[in-house]
Amino acid sequence: MNANLNAIRDTGRLRQAAFFHGFRSRVLLCLVLAGLFFLFSGCSPTREYHAALVLADIAAGDEPSRWKRVTPPPVRTPYAFRVENRRYAADLYRPGEEALAGLLLIPGAAETGKNDARLVAFARSLARARFNVLVPDLDSLRKLQVGPGNVQELIDAFTVLAGPEFSPAGRAGMFAFSYAAGPAVLAALEPKIRDQVRFIFAVGGYHDLNNVLLFFTTGHFRDGGKAKHREPNVYGKWVFILSNLHRLSEPKDRRLFRQMFERIKKDLEASLGDLAAGLSAEGRALYVFVTNRDPHEFESLKSHLAEPIRQDIGALDLSGRDLSRLAARLILVHGYDDPIIPYPESKALARAAPHGQARLFLVDGLEHVDLQPGLVGKFRLWRAVSALLAERER
């Protein structure tokens, strides 16, 4: 298994891990900033200090940190639940002291799912912050498949989390990475849980799926009307392909795309033409769409995708939804350097939210594989974590 496979897998994990590491040695700067900030802003000194400790602990992963030294260890236990006739498995992280709120932590589209070592460490950091953290085991996301069915899964999991056993005084929210942010927002719009979802913390989310598809196929995106380009990561293409294999009517097409994926895992530059030649017209339309690099061809190629695929795109798109009905507060973090979902998507999501309900933190140096923020980036990450901790008190 070579570096190319590791690159794809690391990229998949990093939407649930890019937030976690890379700057521990410099996090003391956040403590200094914290001191200055709460001296002059009237914010809670304890919460701001704890936010800096949590951020340092996230950076530390499983290694020692001050946050680990001053808080009792959380307890991780398997947790099975059932909603109507739907059965789920999950991990529940309980703090070592009285919980103040509940948090549904949604794994990103990654093969290791809830068991990714960095996600486990992250959940423990949040549990130490006195959240009851529920991490569901979503088979579709472990298979790199994001679809409309995820919305019902999140509604079910949140229904369990929001009960008095896990969410004192009804304080409950969601934490989502990347593509999972869309289903999280859609779930929070549903009447069954809409008034119970107090907040959503999203890292690298999206608003308009068409813009995301345009970016990961061609690298083109717009910010404030200005055209921009950067090289997209191959991972986005394969999440889209694997999410839609079940929508293809020909078993041969599904088999050929899986063979392509296995080849790409071994060599990112591998030729796929011989496999593509065996695709049906329906499969060929998907292949041409994801390999297209010309933004002017995007709409035409999209129109040739199988109707079920286009329906799923529409079902997961947020840009056509009335977000004025959203009761949850949004805490949005996005990296300027994100090579899978461009940062203007979180800007657009913040604008679409009801007035005053979204806080946006754009961070330099936040990519899928590395987190190396500058001074301003560290400050913004610290403020985002502080906003999350504030939800325990609202």
Q: Residue 115's domain is classified under what CATH number?
A: 3.40.50.1820
**Phi and psi at residue 212, to the nearest 5°:** -65, -45
pTM for this model (two decimals): 0.88
Using pLDDT thresholds of 50, 70 and 90, give the confidence band for residue 371.
low
Percent of the chain with pLDDT over 70: 86
Q: Is the pLDDT of residue 125 over 50?
A: yes
Write out the two tokens for 5.
């496979």
Looking at the structure, do residues 157 and 242 belong to the same domain, yes or no? no
Q: Which of 38-52, 166-180, 218-232, 283-297 has the lowest mean pLDDT?
A: 38-52
Looking at the structure, do residues 56 and 145 belong to the same domain, yes or no? yes
The confidence score (pLDDT) of residue 359 equals 98
Looking at the structure, do residues 203 and 244 belong to the same domain, yes or no? no
The confidence score (pLDDT) of residue 366 equals 66
Which of 266, 284, 316 is where one domain is finished? Answer: 316
Looking at the structure, do residues 7 and 143 belong to the same domain, yes or no? yes
Looking at the structure, do residues 85 and 171 belong to the same domain, yes or no? yes
Looking at the structure, do residues 65 and 148 belong to the same domain, yes or no? yes
Q: Is the pLDDT of residue 292 over 70?
A: yes
Number of domains forming the structure of the chain: 2
**Closest to 50 (Cα-Cα) out of 385, 356, 295:** 385
Looking at the structure, do residues 164 and 310 belong to the same domain, yes or no? no
Using pLDDT thresholds of 50, 70 and 90, give the confidence band for residue 368.
very low
Is the distance from CB of 135 to CB of 93 less than 8 angstroms?
yes
Write out the two tokens for 71.
């808080």
Q: What is the mean pLDDT of residues 114-130?
A: 93
**Closest to 47 (Cα-Cα) out of 366, 331, 387:** 387
**Residue 55, Cβ density class (10 Å: 0-12 exposed, 13-18 middle, ≥19 buried):** buried
Which of 274, 299, 316 is where one domain is finished? Answer: 316
The confidence score (pLDDT) of residue 44 equals 64
Residue pLDDT, tens place only, 20-76 = 434 444 444 444 454 445 444 545 678 999 999 999 998 888 999 999 999 999 999
Looking at the structure, do residues 306 and 365 belong to the same domain, yes or no? no
Q: Measure the CA–CA gap between 48 and 54, rounded to whole angstroms.
A: 10
Structural domain boundaries enclosing 255: 210-316
Looking at the structure, do residues 191 and 233 belong to the same domain, yes or no? no
The confidence score (pLDDT) of residue 1 equals 43
Amino acid at residue number 58: I
Q: Which of 1-5, 165-169, 256-260, 363-367 has the lowest mean pLDDT?
A: 1-5
Looking at the structure, do residues 67 and 176 belong to the same domain, yes or no? yes
Looking at the structure, do residues 279 and 257 belong to the same domain, yes or no? yes
Residue pLDDT, tens place only, 70-111 = 999 999 999 999 999 999 999 999 999 999 999 999 987 777
**Higher pLDDT pick, 255 / 243:** 255
The confidence score (pLDDT) of residue 28 equals 47
Q: Is the pLDDT of residue 130 over 80?
A: yes
Q: Is the pLDDT of residue 314 over 70?
A: yes
**Residue 190, Cβ density class (10 Å: 0-12 exposed, 13-18 middle, ≥19 buried):** middle
The confidence score (pLDDT) of residue 374 equals 60
Q: What is the DSSP letter of 232?
A: P
The confidence score (pLDDT) of residue 200 equals 98
Looking at the structure, do residues 373 and 261 belong to the same domain, yes or no? no
Using pLDDT thresholds of 50, 70 and 90, give the confidence band for residue 375.
low
Which of 316, 341, 368 is where one domain is finished? Answer: 316
Residue pLDDT, tens place only, 207-239 = 999 999 999 999 999 998 899 999 988 878 888
Q: Is the pLDDT of residue 334 over 60?
A: yes
Any bridge partners for residue 90, and if so which?
Answer: 79, 136
The confidence score (pLDDT) of residue 284 equals 97
